[in-house]
Amino acid sequence: MSMNENGKSASPVTLASIREMKARGEKFTCLTAYDATFARIFDAAGVEVLLVGDSLGMVIQGRETTLPVTLDEMIYHTACVSRARKRALIMADMPFMSDARPHEALRNAARLMAEGGAHMVKIEGGAVMAETIQRLDARGIPVCAHLGLLPQSVHKIGGYRVQGRDGPSARRILEDAATLTAAGADMLLLECVPATLADEIVASVKVPVIGIGASAACDAQVLVCYDMLGLTPGPRPRFCENFLAGRDTIQAAVQDYVRAVKTGRFPASEHLYT
């Protein structure tokens, strides 16, 4: 049994407890984590889900995209986070093309869990990933399906752009959400979609929905920790807020992020898309 920031015992976060939070209408929080030090801080501050994102390719490795990140690198960073985790659920990204075929996805997801210590994997892509999700679900591997802006498809979609603004693309994302949850996806992550579309998806599915630049109606919010702490150079993404500004410690910034999500203060209208 671990202790939370108030010194009280806190049970480990599981997929079942996340579902219970959704049923109660209680928001949960998610942050990316790539190493033991940040993972320990975020876990102690009450963040329920630590996402070991392939965004590490950009914020840790200095690459232009997430595409060069390898499975071995994802396992390494997931294991670093796993060693520090006391309470949070650990979600790990399936890197580019590690899930190209269902049997490969099964083998690679198993490595992320067995070697890295992940409790859940995240897969980018729409209905084309349904067979893969079915395969993982049948073997007891929890999956979060990532829809909307797909960083691994950045060259196909022409950059980091809001998705689902026109009728056909919005319908496709809505249909993908239905298809992937029917296939066994345990969560959805919606990135950079109009708030009205995200609202419709949240209302139409039974699984917890994590948002980033999506809607305040999502069951949870996620940010890249370097963005949330104001460490990323250049303009800050619209969907982000620098929670370290005006605060003395990273711990205080993360605690404020958790409070802001749970009370509904974040995201505000200025963080969302139309």
Rounded mean pLDDT, 80-87: 98
| Tokens 């390719």 found at | 57
Does residue 23 carry a pLDDT above 90?
A: yes
Q: Render pLDDT for 102-113 as a digit per residue (tens, 0 to 9).
A: 999 999 999 999
| Catalytic residue list contains 64 | no
Q: Render pLDDT for 119-175 as a digit per residue (tens, 0 to 9).
A: 999 999 999 999 999 999 999 999 999 999 999 999 888 888 999 999 999 999 999
Residue 221: the pLDDT is: 98
- Which domains, and CATH codes, for the chain? 11-271 (3.20.20.60)
Catalytic choice (5, 64, 175, 191)? 191
The pTM is what?
Answer: 0.95
Q: Render pLDDT for 257-269 as a digit per residue (tens, 0 to 9).
A: 999 999 999 999 9
Residue 236: the pLDDT is: 85
Residue 159: the pLDDT is: 81
Rounded mean pLDDT, 221-247: 94
Residue 10: the pLDDT is: 78
